[in-house]
Amino acid sequence: MPNLRRLHKLWLAAALAAPLTAAATTGQYAQMPIHDDEKHLLATADDLESYFNAHGLLLKDDRVLALVRRVGHSLRPQPTDDYVVYEFYVLRDPSPNAFALPNGSIYVHTGMLARLHDEDELAALLAHEITHVAGHHGLVDHRATKKASIAGLVLGGMSVWGGAIAIGLQASVFGFSRDLEQEADDHAASTLRNSRYDPHALPDLLDILGRDYDGLDPRVPTIWSTHPEIRARAETSRALVANLPRRERTVDGFEDVVSGLRAMTVQDYIRDEYPQTALALAEDSVARHPDDARTVQLLGDAWAGMGAQRRTDPSELTKSDKKQNRKDHRKTREQRLADELATEEGRTAYAENLSHAQDAYARALAIDPHFAAAHRGLAEVYEQQQRAPDAAREYLLYVRAAPDAEDRSIVVGRLKALTVKLQETTQ
Amino acid sequence: MSGAKAGIVVAGIVALGVATQALAEKTTEGFANGTTRPQSVALLPVKATVTRAKIVETEGLVDDSVKFGGEFNARMQAALTAKGYKVVVVDTDRINADPKLQEYVVETQRGFDDMMSKYKPKNMSKHMYKVGDSGRLLADYLHVDGLAFSTMSVTITAAGKAIFAGFVGGSTQGASANLEIVNGKTGELEAWFFGVALVTPGEKTDADLSDYVATLAARSTNRVPGADPSARIDVATSDEDTIEGAERALKR
């Protein structure tokens, strides 16, 4: 086996040598003619767009797409090969990820955009992915490792029950070999230096990617399976840009376009039961928009979504904690809540989380007394606190304030159940 | 064969039949007796995987997955319609033409995936598996009382691969499909059906693949009971009546 590994490394070194040398001497990558037996990789890369489209996963938000395309096209080089056509897509997926395919298609997840703070971090991300395309990393990697096809690379993370959350994880900002990822980081720093963007956004981006709020490392097939590696990459890139001048970051236009995705991503994480991540992202949003009722209400939703989990610092989690977290993650929300409420610690955490949620909803209503969604949030908190009359009152305020709300039938259903309870109490 | 031995054989066959049925379907009591069985379902895009496994690499054929996934959905629609369900097909064009629908579909699909990652057949009757509010909103939006999710997987192996896989423990050929039905009013999983098809090793034409798709669609729907409006229990109350009822209860 050691011989095979050595052979593999030699293979990789040989395959890497040509494009790396060309890039090192000119700053540009050379052409890389495609072999006949590799054409299926390009065909599959093209087909993936149809696949994502068929599942409704391509985000159609014109403003978001315009932002990503504008930044991407401003950074990309001229293609060296006719099989490369740069195109940028946004995938409706909350996981913090992006990936590049050898045909020039670059996909960024909504959950990635939601975590970025400014256009410069987006530029850093796209510069990294563009290097994978320009450097033909898909083909280099394929020649070196004879890895499975692109589809396997991109969809490989999806099991039979696999969710969209796993899409692209194997062909992600973490998916290539360590050498190719490092090359993409190095090239991204150089691309940023030669652009109007701040090169210091690159280590900031890698720091963002290294955060594992829910402490599920490393079993869940997410970026966090390479967590230590991403930290090392952040440090390497920090050293790389240390002597470069800082530039003012572009925040305003970016914030305006991306804030909707942040709300969507927080809701996604609540629904998908990654409550610590939802809470961290919601707090980050509130720090930026403390006077926005919708953002503050989202913080309430995130606290309510915590159930009976206590807030944890991911850096303090032991291996055994993470193992337990992974085990708990296989339970339904109700099962998990019931198990946690069986302990004193769980009951305390539950009461505290609901109290935080209540405070946030009250704050949202203080900012905007007509903000209907906060009434619904309060009603749900009161329901969980077994305060049926208060819950019914808040639901009534909600349905009166938002008569055309899309969830009206659900809320009316809850109101119906609460009415039965109230009638039973008074009889 | 003696009478006792024949009895054992018969009992064995009956047990095998019961076990096979238990493995191929699981429903809630309400679904089985019709009280919570939907009359209309939204058929979501199938998660289809068509894989041709070769000696050195496994090639996931995305275009085949999209194409045969479409065929599978069409057959599911026909099978469910034949059983009396009103079927609303949520296809690519429809999803991508309507951002609201796209949002509901993506959220519901993720909720469904999460639910199924936790699913254990023995707990089906406990009504503990739910897709979340997005599923209810989707059903509401499409005016249906049920959601139908499906997955289909076909793996084709080259003749030599099957032997090779035997040595290295790799994937072998096979085809299977699931159909899950979720209650649109509650978001709860009501039914799970499973079907398999045998796939012989060797190259397959598109016509062969279409045959597998047809078999899988038939086997994952043939145990689905027909829509039965007479058994369904729905107490219709207007929203306004409910709201006024709640206001009266609070005043007491």
pLDDT top residue among A64 and A327: A64
Q: State the nearest Cα–Cα gap between A96 and chain B, in angstroms.
A: 16
Q: State the nearest Cα–Cα gap between B116 and chain A, in angstroms.
A: 6
Average pLDDT over residues A65-82: 96
pLDDT (tens digit per residue) in A261-271: 999 999 999 98
- How big is the A-B interface in CB pairs under 8 Å? 153
A348-357, B138-147, B204-213: least confident range = B204-213
> Is B134 within 8 Å of A331 when comparing Cβ atoms?
no
Q: State the nearest Cα–Cα gap between A53 and chain B, in angstroms.
A: 7
Distance CA A330, CA A333 (A): 9
Residue A47 sits at φ, ψ, to 5 deg, of: -65, -25
Q: Token pair 């939204």 is at which residue?
A: B42
Number of Cβ atoms within 10 Å of the Cβ of A198: 24
Mutate to test the interface with B, among A271, A335, A375 (most CBs of B within 10 A): A271
A122-136, A300-314, A384-398, B218-232: least confident range = B218-232
Distance CA A241, CA A20 (A): 20
Q: For residue A265, give the chain B residue with the closest CA.
A: B107
Nearest CB to A48; choose among B62, B106, B247: B62
pTM, entire model? 0.81
What's the pLDDT score for residue A24?
Answer: 43
ipTM greater than cut 0.95: no
Q: Which of B21, B9, B42, B27 is nearest to B140 (CA)?
A: B42
Average pLDDT over residues B39-65: 75
B183 forms bridges with which residues in the sheet? B146
pLDDT band at B65; cut points 50, 70, 90? confident
Residue type, position B180, single letter: E
Nearest CB to A406; choose among B60, B111, B137: B137
What's the pLDDT score for residue B229?
Answer: 77
pLDDT top residue among A164 and B136: B136
pLDDT above 70: percentage of residues in chain B: 79
Nearest CB to A148; choose among B57, B61, B63: B57
Residue B40 sits at φ, ψ, to 5 deg, of: -140, 140
Residue A117 sits at φ, ψ, to 5 deg, of: -100, -25
Q: Which of B12, B15, B16, B31 is nearest to B223 (CA)?
A: B31
Residue type, position A139, single letter: L
Statement: residue B19 has pLDDT above 90 = no
pLDDT (tens digit per residue) in A401-423: 999 999 998 999 999 999 998 88
pLDDT (tens digit per residue) in B69-92: 899 999 999 999 999 999 999 988
Nearest CB to A152; choose among B58, B114, B247: B58
